[in-house]
Amino acid sequence: MVCARLALAESARDVQRIQELTDELATAHRYIDSIDDQLYLQDLHLRRESDMRVMPLPPGGGVRTRQRGSGPRTKGGGSGRSGSSQ
C-alpha cells in the first residue's frame, strides 16, 4: 500500500512538473515570437529607410544636368523667360 501511494505521489509530481515545463515552454515561445515580430518590423523600417536614402550624384552631375543638355534645342538657345519675349 505504501509503494502504491509513493508511486501515485511521484506520478502526481511528474504530472505537475510536466505541466510547469509545458507552461514555461509556451512562455518562451511567446517571448521568441515577440522578438521575431520586433525584428521583422525593424527590418521593414530599415528597408523603407534605405529606399528613401539619398544617393550621391554620379560623376558629371545628376539628372538635371543631363536633362538640360539633352533633347532638341530651340533657335534662341534657351527656354527661359528672357528668350521668349521676341
- pLDDT tens per residue across span 21-79: 999 999 999 999 999 999 999 999 888 877 766 667 777 765 555 555 555 555 655 55
**Residue 77: which residues within 8 A CB-CB, separation 6 or more?**
83
Dist CA 35 CA 1 (whole Å): 51
Phi-psi region of 61 (alpha: psi -120 to 50; beta: other; left: phi over 0): left
> Model pTM?
0.47
User: Is it the case that residue 19 has pLDDT exceeding 70?
Assistant: yes
